[in-house]
C-alpha cells in the first residue's frame, strides 16, 4: 500500500501482514529508513497518536519533522492542499495527518508523498484500528467468530467507523451499546444495539468509546451524570464479563463517564497495552508504505 487512508480499502491479507510485522517489531525486529523524512501534521489535538508516531519514526531511524500549526502559513489562509504540496516539494517522503475535516485526504489526490491518516473528523482512524487489531490478535490469535461490542459515542467516533469496517471483514460478530440516538444508520447492518447489561456476559471484547463532548451538537449535550449507570462499564458489569474477555478503549478516557475509574486499569483492561502496541503497529504501517524504498 502507498497510503493508508481508510480501512474501507484495506484487505484482510494486508491487515494480517501488518499485524504480524508489528508483532515482530514488538519482539525486537529492526528496520531502518534513515534516508526517509516524515512530517507529523496534526491540525487537531492528540497525545497518543502523535507521540506514538514520533516514537515509531525514531525507532525506524527516520528524519522527523514536526509541523506547528499555530506558526504555519495555514494561519495566513494557505489551504491543506498547498501546505502538503509544499511539504512534498521540500522533500518529505511521508505525511502523517490528522484533520477535523471528514475524508480530508480526498483533497490530496495530486500530492505525491505517502499519507498516513491519523484521524479525519468523524471519519476513520486507521492507525488506531491497526493497534486495536494487533491487541485483539495478540490475545485471541484470530478474529473469526469473536464477539466484539463497541459501546458509546458511535456517531462521532472515527474508531467505531474504522473498526466496524475492518472487524466485519475479518469475520468478527459485531454488537453495539450506548444511546440509541448515537446508533446511526451506518451501523445497523454491522450488528444490533443491545443494553450494556446484555452485552457484558457474552462478549470477548468490550470496546468503549469516549463521549466526545467537543463534537456533540447543542441538542445532544449529555446528562453525563447518569451515563455510567445507564450505558457505561461499571465495576459490577466488568465483573460479569467472561474470564478471558478484554476491555479496550482508544483513550483519552473520561474516567467515571463511559468507564468506572477503577475499571480502567483492572486485570481485564488492555487500555495501556493498546498504547504500547500503537508504537509497533505504526512502525509496521510506516514500513508498509515505504516498502522497497529504504
Ligand atoms: N486514541 C487517540 O487517537 O488518542 P489521541 O487523540 O490522544 O491521539
pLDDT in tens, 34-44: 999 999 999 99
Joined together, the cell numbers standing for residue 191 give: 450488528
> Is the CB of 49 within 6 Å of ligand 1?
yes
Q: What is the pLDDT of residue 111?
A: 97
Is the confidence at residue 164, as pLDDT, over 70? Answer: yes
**Which pLDDT band holds residue 99 (cuts at 50, 70, 90)?**
very high
The pLDDT assigned to 226 comes to: 85
Percent of the chain at pLDDT > 90 equals: 93
Nearest CA residue ID for atom 3, ligand 1: 49
pLDDT of amino acid 292: 72
pLDDT score recorded for residue 221: 61
Best CA proximity match to 188, nearest among 158, 232, 155, 220: 155
Kindly report whether the global pTM for this prediction surpasses the value 0.85. Answer: yes
pLDDT (mean) for 9-20: 98
Q: Residue 66 — pLDDT band, cuts 50, 70, 90?
A: confident
63-66: strand order across its sheet: 63-66, 37-42, 94-99, 114-120
What residue spans of 90-246 are helical by DSSP H?
A: 126-140, 158-169, 185-188, 196-199, 227-231, 235-239
CB of 250 within 6 A of ligand 1: the answer is: yes
Q: In the chain, what are the domains?
A: 7-124+276-290 (3.40.50.1370), 126-270 (3.40.50.1370)
Q: From the alpha carbon of 45, which atom of ligand 1 is closest?
A: 6
The minimum-distance atom of ligand 1 relative to the CA of 44 is 6
Give the cell for residue 228.
Answer: 455510567
Could you tell me which of 108, 123, 135 has the C-alpha nearest to residue 22? 135
Which whole-number Å values give the CA distances from 232 to 167, 178, 180, 273, 275, in the listed order?
Answer: 22, 8, 14, 21, 21
Predicted confidence band of residue 74 (pLDDT cuts 50, 70, 90): very high
Nearest to 103 by CA among 53, 188, 162: 162
pLDDT value at position 212?
A: 77
pLDDT class of 225 with cuts at 50, 70, 90: low
Distances (CA, A) of 93 to 10, 261, 293: 21, 42, 10
Give the residue, by CA position, lying nearest to ligand 1 atom 6: 46
What is the average pLDDT score of the chain?
95
Residue 20, C-alpha cell as written in the block = 504480524
- What does 207-247 look like in DSSP terms, one character per residue? EE----GGG--GGG---GGGHHHHHSB-HHHHHTS-TT-EE
Quick one: pLDDT at residue 293?
Answer: 80
- Of 89, 29, 37, give the one whose Cα is nearest residue 58: 37
Which residues, other chains included, contact 251 with Cβ-Cβ below 8 Å and sequence gap of 6+?
48, 210, 271, 274, 275
Verify whether ligand 1 is closer than 6 Å to residue 129 (CB atom): no
**Residue 213 pLDDT:** 72
251 lines ligand 1 (CB under 6 A): yes
Task: Please report, for the chain, how many H helices and E strands are present, in that order.
Answer: 10, 8
Distance 158 CA to ligand 1 centre (A): 11
Please give the average per-residue pLDDT across 77-81, as a whole number. Answer: 97
Find the 44 Cα to ligand 1 centroid distance in Å. 10
Amino acid at each position: 500500500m502507498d497510503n493508508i487512508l481508510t480501512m474501507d480499502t484495506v484487505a484482510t491479507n494486508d491487515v494480517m501482514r501488518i499485524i504480524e510485522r508489528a508483532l515482530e517489531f514488538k519482539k525486537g525486529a529492526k528496520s531502518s529508513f534513515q534516508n526517509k523524512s516524515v512530517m507529523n501534521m496534526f491540525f487537531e489535538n492528540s497525545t497518543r497518536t502523535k507521540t506514538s508516531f514520533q516514537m515509531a519514526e525514531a525507532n525506524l531511524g527516520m528524519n522527523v519533522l514536526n509541523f506547528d500549526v499555530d506558526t504555519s502559513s495555514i494561519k495566513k489562509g494557505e489551504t491543506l492542499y498547498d501546505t502538503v504540496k509544499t511539504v512534498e516539494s521540500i522533500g518529505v517522503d511521508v505525511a502523517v495527518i490528522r484533520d477535523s475535516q471528514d475524508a480530508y485526504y480526498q483533497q490530496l489526490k495530486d500530492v505525491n508523498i505517502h499519507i498516513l491518516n491519523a484521524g479525519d473528523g468523524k471519519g476513520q482512524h486507521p492507525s488506531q484500528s491497526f493497534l486495536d487489531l494487533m491487541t485483539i490478535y495478540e490475545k485471541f490469535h484470530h478474529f473469526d467468530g469473536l464477539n466484539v461490542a463497541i459501546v458509546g459515542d458511535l456517531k462521532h467516533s472515527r474508531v467505531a467507523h474504522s473498526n466496524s469496517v475492518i472487524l466485519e471483514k475479518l469475520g468478527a460478530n459485531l454488537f453495539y451499546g450506548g444511546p440509541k440516538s448515537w446508533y446511526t444508520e451506518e451501523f445497523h447492518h454491522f450488528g444490533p444495539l443491545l443494553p450494556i447489561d446484555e452485552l457484558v456476559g457474552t462478549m470477548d471484547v468490550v470496546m468503549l468509546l469516549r463521549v466526545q463532548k467537543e463534537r456533540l451538537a447543542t441538542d445532544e449535550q449529555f446528562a453525563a451524570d447518569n451515563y455510567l449507570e445507564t450505558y457505561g462499564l461499571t465495576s459490577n458489569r466488568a465483573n460479569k464479563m467472561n474470564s478471558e474477555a478484554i476491555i479496550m478503549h482508544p483513550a483519552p478516557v473520561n474516567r467515571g463517564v463511559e468507564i468506572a475509574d477503577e475499571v480502567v486499569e483492572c486485570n481485564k483492561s488492555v487500555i495501556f497495552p493498546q498504547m504500547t502496541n500503537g508504537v509497533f503497529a505504526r512502525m509496521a504501517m510506516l514500513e508498509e508504505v515505504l516498502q522497497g524504498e529504504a
